[in-house]
A = this chain, B = another copy of it.
Amino acid sequence: MERRQETSGNAHHQIRGPRVPAGGAGARDKKRAAIIEAAQAVFLERGFANATMDLIATTADVSKATVYAKFSGKDELLTEIVASAAGRIGQEIDRHTGPEEDPRTRLTALACRYAQVLFDAQTIGLLRLVVAESHNRPDIGRRYLEAGPLPAIAHLTSALRELVDRGDLAIDDVDHAALQLVGMVQAKRLYSLLDPSLLPSEEEVTATATADVEVFLAAYGTGDRTPHGSRRPATGREKRQKRQ
């Protein structure tokens, strides 16, 4: 895996054929990265079936022959993109959160991070792409799952287990609990998947995630931190957003 990523000024559209390789050695990898980037953009914008190799080549500022020199075909391009993008998403989630001592703040931070990533427009777009193709190419769906969602949920599970061991949570089935939390956080993802214009705002996402953590804590929190009398922390802290 020699991913190049290279987000900087990659000669977006140089008007006329100034072959800019210049780098000599790195030129090859640069073209390769440009092709991947272009393919991702085109796939995300038009879907796999409606994406043409000509457009990908044009977008990458590269001849079609070069595309086929570096990739065996459209399929390989797709798998390459799924692997790299899903991995990037997984990494984004995997970044360590500060070792908050308060379980509520820790969980809220975790949930908000998940929510932000899950509702990122690019994440949604990639997911749509993968879902669309996973029927005809089971390996694609599997690969995405194993590079993104599965590690992410595993990460959350281990975080929960840590809190359980510390006595901050009381959970029988940690795996399922993680799934429940993620389920709540991503409940509206289906909407965005079906109609991109319904993608919620950043504030809405974090507000929802925060409220979800409260439900989670009501079920699994040990009473240690919240006053004995009220079953829920009284929610005086914030208004728990009203409209959706």
- List A residues at the B interface (Cβ < 8 Å): 46-47, 49-50, 125, 128, 130-136, 138, 141-142, 144-145, 149, 170, 172-173, 175-176, 179-180, 182-188, 190-191, 193-197, 208, 211-212, 214-216, 218-221, 223, 231-232, 235, 240-242, 244
**Residue from B138, B214, B232 in contact with A195 in the complex, judged by beta carbons closer than 8 Å:** B138
Q: How far is the CB of A55 from chain B (nearest CB, A)?
A: 15
Q: Within the assembled complex, what's the spacing in Å between the Cα atoms of A104 and B176?
A: 20
The residues of B that contact A231 with a CB separation of less than 8 Å are: 218, 221, 223, 231
Dominant secondary structure at the A interface: helix
> Do B172 and A50 have beta carbons less than 8 Å apart?
no
| Max chain B Cβ within 10 angstroms of own Cβ: one of A141, A197, A235 | A141
> Do B179 and A47 have beta carbons less than 8 Å apart?
no
The residues of B that contact A125 with a CB separation of less than 8 Å are: 135
Copy count, this protein chain: 2
> Do B145 and A175 have beta carbons less than 8 Å apart?
no
The residues of B that contact A138 with a CB separation of less than 8 Å are: 195-197
The residues of B that contact A50 with a CB separation of less than 8 Å are: 49, 136
Q: Within the assembled complex, what's the spacing in Å between the Cα atoms of A182 and B244?
A: 15
Q: 17 pairs across A/B with beta carbons < 8 Å?
A: A47-B132, A125-B135, A128-B135, A130-B194, A131-B131, A131-B193, A132-B135, A134-B194, A141-B194, A145-B191, A173-B242, A173-B244, A176-B244, A179-B188, A183-B188, A216-B219, A231-B231
Q: Within the assembled complex, what's the spacing in Å between the Cα atoms of A49 and B137?
A: 14
Q: Within the assembled complex, what's the spacing in Å between the Cα atoms of A231 and B230?
A: 9
> Do A194 and B128 have beta carbons less than 8 Å apart?
no
**Minimum CB distance partner of A47 in chain B:** B135
The 3 closest A-B pairs by CB, nearest first: A183-B187, A132-B132, A141-B194
**Minimum CB distance partner of A232 in chain B:** B219
